[in-house]
A and B are shown apart, each in its own frame.
Chain A
Amino acid sequence: MSAESAAEHVHVHEPPSSFIRRWIFSTDHKVVGIQYWILALVAAFVGMWLSVVFRLHLANEGTIAQLNNQLSALAPDSAQAQALTEQIKALQAKWFVLTPEKYLSYLTMHGTILVFMVLTTAPMGGFGNYFLPIQIGALDMAFPRLNMLSIWLTILSFITLMAAFFVPGGPPNSGWTGYPPLSAIPAAQGKGYEGPGGYGQDLWVLSIAIFCFASLVGAINFIVTTLDLRTKGMTMLRMPLTCWAWFVTAILSLLSFAVLLVAGLLLLLDRNAGTSFFIPGDLFFNKPLVDHRGGSPILFQHLFWFFGHPEVYIAIVPGMGLVSHLLSTFARKPVFGYAAMVFAIFGIGIVGFFVWGHHMFQSGMSPYVAVAFSVMTMVVGVPSAIKTFNWLGTLWGGNIRFTSPMLYALGFVSLFVTGGIGGIFLGQNAVDIYFHDTYFVVGHFHLIMGVAAIFAMFAGTAFWFPKMFGRMMNEPLGKIHFWITFAGVNVIFITMHLMGLEGHPRRYSGFNYDFLSSNYMVTCHKIVTHTAILTATTQLLLLVNIVYSLFAGPKATDNPWEATSLEWAIPSPPPFENFKGGHVPEVHHGPYEFSVPGAAKDYIMQQEPPEARPATAPSAH
């Protein structure tokens, strides 16, 4: 049957006519994707705001600690001392000065919001939902209604988490890792957390449990869609690397979130039902704790990090896929070593399940096991190195176009290298004796799983915005945003590495130590805080760019970047069914056919007829 005669018979499916079914409780993967993307954007700003507040607090505390040092050297009644006391009082009255409990609450919520609601949602739920079906040539995800369930459960989870701000006692202050007994015993978190109230930690666990469930459902949908809904000609090895990345990420989610669900459930029981999974006996909180005994706090850590380490890859792997895709697109060159990139993604995914113990070198777990975990951690560096080398290989001999998505992608590579270097220190059990729980760790994971992943999100936003909304983003604004953000995050987190070298402990809300109130440390804190405020403010540029471009950006053509994958073969924005009338084209080419010798243009789109590629060109896929 020819395409024309087919088109006559095709029944065009119209989108639901009711606003609510079309845009709110929609089963359309594109709407779900945008909903995830908006959720991540909102959550990112909430989380960033929290960090700005506690950064201000920290810089201020540094000054106070120094003034206190000066004060202690003076005679108590001298005029100078009184002036200093006044000065300290003024500093302590600043609006951003937090109590130690509040400081830790904000820290906990900053981590939880960013790890779960931003790093896990946007790359996968956001861009993945929107573009996986289109890139493999499907009309929608395999189970659109389950997809809608995922996003709304995730939103419910976010609301539950936010509710922790409004209960007596406020959000929990046990860190995003929520180690028991601190997280398991209300009395341990301080006044206001015991007795009636103090539901913050319960809401936190509940929110994460809902999130786990939503992620499991989402993961199933992603895997099934990738395996079973590819269009004709779209073999697994013709999928763009973005699809491979989402596929592997979904597998990681499926296997790891279930374990976190268990950890959360058992923690909830320990808190509320008097069980002793994680709470040992003979504890003392104002009085002996009689109703718990025999539990193991380390067991929780194992369960948590069995999830927690793959979670790092859940955050970063989609970014790796996207960056590979963008480097190739904008260097107008095939990805260097496509197959190696696929193996590397899988390698990271698989080995990533056997390294969780490197978070626990100093936890008191078996030191023999620590050696094994440490060696495995070094092994996971190999696929990461392959990726870095192959990214550089992709640029080699290219014809690089410096669009803002490309800049973000290049920034990702640089941040990935800088952040990855810290991992070589922390992955060694011996070296970790010194660096464990210092600012070195904070700097390391922020660079590699935080900022690098967020740069991939910037790149994704700039790259796909024309497709999603039919308008181009503003290039100069995007570039200014890139330069300031890139410089800013490097200053912030490399400075944190330097503080870590001096042994600065993380999660400290004040500096009652000589080595912490030294000029060096306080200066570092101030540099970090000031740069953080500048960088955070710069994110408003992104917001302005998004809003401005939504309404006033130049209209986008179908394929403004001259890219090859299927989303660029359909109108911008895509019709309800993605491909008009459900008419999905057949795929004839690999995903990265750029600058093929002898071809008419410097790119061949995947759905172009086989003749578009000269028979004389070296074979790719």
Chain B
Amino acid sequence: MTPLLFVGMIGALVALTLYFFATKAPILPPLISEHGQLIDDQIYLTLIITGAIFAIAQLGLAFLVYKYRHREGAKATYLLGSHKLEYTWSAATLVLFVGLNLMGQKVWAEMHLNEHPKPAIEVEVTGLQFKWYIRYPGKDGVFGRRDVNMINDAEGNFLGLDKTDPKGADDIVMGSLTVPVGVPVVMKIGSRDVIHNFGVRELRVKQDAVPGLAVYIPFKATQTGSYEVACMELCGYGHYQMRSQLNVVTMAEYTKFLADNAP
């Protein structure tokens, strides 16, 4: 009774898990970035490989449990192991796991190691409890100076822009991120208080915003539309409502956006 129940339980586990993972396909949210394709490919590849490992290991366990259940008069085999088998499966898993990992390094290099594409639109993303602010350098393409002592939330100077700095005169600060489609963008991500994380599911971008540190993340959006930005690193009680928006627009709309919001 027990071994049969165990087989049933494992069978249900494997069947249901595979069913839900397979029928939810495409299980990831729609993709809107160029590099994201590589991430998705890697995720799907990993899903297939691990799905097979999962099924084989679980069903193998269930099979052995049933096949070698206790029966009257049965005797276990005195078997101490097999170095040959152990070496084989160690080597196989090593090659499989490390190989799989190395395949994923291309997209990592693209995002973090290689020189970022130029020319690119540069925006500055700043997290603070519990909002995102995005700054555009304006026409001069240069960000103005920031000073923590000039921060004044009541006056709307959340980033502490130095009004006396001429370079900052044309800077635009917005509560959401608007970028043109098909153009490389580099975000400079930072924080003014605790650690946040700038995450957009559809963009396949996620990066901690660390106070005292600027991290540069490139992306190229491939589809227009409006997407939700979420904070992905615990930043305090308002963590769950630190919501912003990513608007991917056409180049014409983007130019208009900049012009409309120019100070």
Contacts and interface: CB of A to CB of B under 8 A. Distances in A.
Residue with the highest number of chain B CB atoms closer than 10 Å, among A398, A433, A510? A433
Interface range, B side: 35 or more
Given A296-B212, A425-B50, A512-B243, A617 B78 contact: yes
A424 B230 CA distance: 25
B208 A363 contact: yes
In order of increasing CB-CB distance, the 8 nearest A-B pairs are A280-B212, A337-B81, A367-B112, A430-B104, A397-B77, A503-B201, A508-B240, A378-B97
A144 interface: no
B204 A434 contact: yes
Interface in B1-44: 2-3, 5-6, 9-10, 13, 16-17, 20-21, 24, 27-29, 38-39, 42-43
Given A182-B194, A395-B61, A190 B68 contact: no
Given A395-B68, A407-B6, A513 B230 contact: yes
Given A281-B212, A388-B57, A337 B74 contact: no
A15 B218 CA distance: 70
Contacts of A596: 78
Contacts of B186: none
B110 to A, nearest CB: 10
A288 B68 contact: no
Interface string A185-206: 1001110000000000000000
Given A410-B65, A430-B107, A515-B29, A498 B21 contact: yes
Residue with the highest number of chain B CB atoms closer than 10 Å, among A174, A410, A438? A410
Contacts of A496: none
A330 to B, nearest CB: 9
Interface string B46-79: 1001100110011011001100111100111111
Contacts of A402: 2-3, 6, 69-70
Nearest to B2: A402
B81 A390 contact: yes
Given A386-B89, A398-B68, A407-B6, A101 B29 contact: no
Contacts of A410: 6, 61, 65
Interface stretch (B167-175, B231-239, B254-262): B231-239
Given A182-B236, A364-B207, A392-B61, A284 B86 contact: no
Given A362-B197, A392-B61, A434-B43, 14 more contacts: A336-B80, A337-B80, A337-B86, A362-B207, A371-B108, A379-B97, A396-B77, A396-B79, A402-B6, A424-B49, A430-B38, A437-B206, A437-B232, A507-B239
Given A390-B86, A402-B70, A332 B211 contact: no
26 contacts: A188-B193, A280-B212, A284-B151, A295-B212, A332-B75, A332-B76, A334-B78, A334-B79, A338-B80, A362-B206, A364-B207, A379-B97, A381-B93, A386-B89, A393-B82, A396-B79, A397-B68, A414-B61, A417-B54, A417-B57, A428-B104, A431-B104, A501-B21, A505-B240, A512-B241, A617-B78
A288 to B, nearest CB: 5
A467 interface: no
B195 interface: yes
Contacts, number: 334
Interface string A168-190: 00000111000101100100111
Interface in A506-545: 507-515
A400 B70 contact: yes
A364 B210 contact: yes
A271 to B, nearest CB: 14
A514 B228 contact: yes
Given A392-B64, A417-B58, A436 B79 contact: no
A284 B65 contact: no
Interface in A100-117: 100-101, 104
A338 B81 contact: yes
A22 interface: no
A501 B116 CA distance: 28
A188 to B, nearest CB: 5
Contact of B78 (A333, A417, A507): A333
A281 B147 CA distance: 11
B252 interface: no
A282 B148 contact: yes
Interface of A: 99-101, 104, 173-175, 179, 181-182, 185, 188-190, 280-285, 288, 294-298, 331-340, 362-364, 367-368, 370-371, 374-375, 377-379, 381-382, 385-386, 388-390, 392-393, 395-402, 407, 410, 413-414, 417-418, 421, 424-425, 427-431, 433-434, 436-438, 479, 483, 486-487, 490, 494, 498, 501-503, 505, 507-515, 594-597, 602, 617-618, 620
Given A362-B197, A410-B61, A512-B243, A431 B42 contact: yes
B236 A190 contact: yes
Nearest to A595: B76
A396 B21 contact: no
Nearest to A330: B70
B240 A283 contact: no
A182 to B, nearest CB: 4
Contact of A395 (B65, B89, B210, B240): B65
B192 interface: yes
A430 B69 contact: no
Nearest to B82: A337
Given A283-B211, A414-B13, A597-B78, A101 B64 contact: no
